[in-house]
């Protein structure tokens, strides 16, 4: 009897181990990666970028397919993921909401279970963060957050890769987020905390980042400064980062927001307080609103390096998840 119980316990442990090992790794938030994993992905992204510049192919994902669900329109997310899969030897399938049964009322969990039988990973660009969590809960393949209303971790990977290139690393780097405390900013602040950068967040009253996000950044070792003064934020900063004031779905708030964000534009007057800072924007930009033409076209701008790095960072992420 004792031997039988021992064998049963051993079999149970083996079964549990196999179940844990079979669970896919999802990428819903930037801190779904550990500090070490984040640095691994960034180093791999730099290697992929260097290899592409040298004309070296890395078809490590040959025969694998990425399903791409889009509830929101996209330029950089769609093209970088599709191109990245192609360059890695795989294939990407565009799945617009109205092109699949999701647009006709199929539950997300049914879509997730079905796609898991067809593809090797799913990238989804959706509105509600709860939707990406439902996809992950019911998927047997990795789910990648291509953007939700709460987070944009793929953008943060590209942002960190860009800063690493520009500054030679993250040590003693000071960054300022200026504008709306939106999804892009929230993911970036957490990513900055994970890489030990000094962060100041300047938003108008009523448009701050979620307190839970600031708390998470502090739990990860960061110490974000929160202010309503954009000049205070950018003074002596190495990096100044902004994004649109009016995101998709907020168009009816336009007049109110334009008044609230007066003084937060990244322009020559603001940049005079940080003449050596590099300027970042995740794009698309509403030129003349959150940033001027002069700023985005200036020698301080690294906006298009940042846009290019979406490709390399996402290739590294795909490779890390699927290799």
Residue 96 has pLDDT above 70, yes or no: yes
Per-domain residue ranges of the chain:
26-43+53-152+310-322, 153-307
Active-site annotation holder among 64, 71, 87, 155:
155
- Check the annotation: does 164 bind a ligand: no
Residue 288 has pLDDT above 80, yes or no: yes
Residue 63 has pLDDT above 50, yes or no: yes
pLDDT band at 13 (very low <50, low <70, confident <90, very high): very low
Residue 7 has pLDDT above 50, yes or no: no
275: phi then psi, degrees, rounded to nearest 5: -65, -20
**What is the C-alpha separation between 307 and 91, in angstroms, rounded?**
22
Active site residue 152: yes
Helix 211-219, helix 183-194: angle, nearest 10:
10
Tokens coding 53: 């510049």
pTM: 0.92
- Do 26-43+53-152+310-322 and 153-307 fold alike per CATH? yes
Average pLDDT score over residue span 63-76:
96
pLDDT of residue 4: 41
pLDDT band at 3 (very low <50, low <70, confident <90, very high): very low
- Check the annotation: does 319 bind a ligand: no
**What is the C-alpha separation between 208 and 71, in angstroms, rounded?**
26
pLDDT of residue 33: 98
**What is the C-alpha separation between 251 and 65, in angstroms, rounded?**
35
**What is the C-alpha separation between 12 and 15, in angstroms, rounded?**
5
**What is the C-alpha separation between 54 and 198, in angstroms, rounded?**
34
Tokens coding 315: 């290739």
Q: Which CATH number fits domain 26-43+53-152+310-322: 3.90.850.10, 3.40.190.10, 3.40.50.1370, 3.40.120.10?
A: 3.40.50.1370
Active site residue 218: no
pLDDT of residue 115: 97
Q: Per residue in 295-314, pLDDT tens?
A: 999 999 999 999 999 999 99
pLDDT of residue 2: 44
Q: So what's the architecture of 153-307 in CATH?
A: 3-Layer(aba) Sandwich (3.40)
**What is the C-alpha separation between 38 and 32, in angstroms, rounded?**
9
Q: Which helix (H) or strand (E) holds 23?
A: none
**65-70 and 174-178 beta bridge pairing:** unpaired
> Shortest CA distance to 239 belongs to which of 310, 301, 152, 307?
301
The answer to whether the beta carbons of residues 49 and 280 sit under 8 Å apart is: no
Active site residue 129: no
Average pLDDT score over residue span 89-104:
90
pLDDT of residue 224: 97
């Amino acid at each position: 009897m004792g031997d039988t119980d021992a064998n049963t316990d051993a079999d149970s442990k083996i079964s549990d181990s196999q179940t844990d090992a079979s669970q896919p790794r999802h990428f819903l938030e930037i801190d779904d990666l550990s500090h070490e994993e984040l640095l691994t992905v960034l180093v791999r992204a730099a290697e992929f970028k260097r290899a592409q510049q040298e004309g070296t192919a890395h078809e490590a994902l040959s025969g694998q397919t990425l399903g791409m669900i889009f509830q929101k329109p996209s330029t950089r997310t769609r093209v970088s993921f599709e191109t990245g899969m192609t360059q890695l030897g795989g294939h990407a399938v565009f799945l617009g909401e109205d092109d699949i049964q999701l647009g006709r009322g199929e539950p997300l969990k049914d879509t997730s279970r079905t796609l898991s039988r067809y593809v090797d990973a799913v990238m989804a660009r959706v509105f509600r963060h709860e939707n990406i969590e439902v996809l992950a809960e019911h998927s047997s393949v990795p789910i990648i957050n291509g953007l939700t209303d709460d987070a944009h971790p793929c953008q943060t990977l590209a942002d960190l890769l860009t800063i690493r290139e520009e500054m030679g690393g993250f040590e003693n780097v000071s960054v300022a987020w200026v504008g709306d405390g939106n999804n892009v900013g929230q993911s970036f602040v957490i990513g900055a905390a994970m890489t030990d950068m000094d962060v100041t967040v300047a938003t108008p009253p009523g448009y701050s980042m979620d307190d839970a996000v600031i708390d998470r950044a502090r739990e990860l070792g960061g110490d974000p400064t929160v202010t309503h003064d954009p000049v205070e934020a950018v003074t002596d900063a190495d990096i100044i980062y902004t994004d649109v004031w009016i995101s998709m779905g907020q168009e009816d708030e336009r007049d109110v927001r334009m008044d609230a964000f007066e003084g937060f534009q990244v322009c020559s007057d603001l940049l005079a307080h940080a003449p050596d800072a590099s300027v970042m924007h995740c794009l698309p930009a509403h030129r003349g609103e959150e940033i001027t033409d002069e700023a985005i076209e200036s020698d301080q701008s690294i906006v298009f390096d940042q846009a290019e790095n979406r490709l390399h960072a996402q290739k590294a992420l795909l490779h890390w998840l699927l290799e």
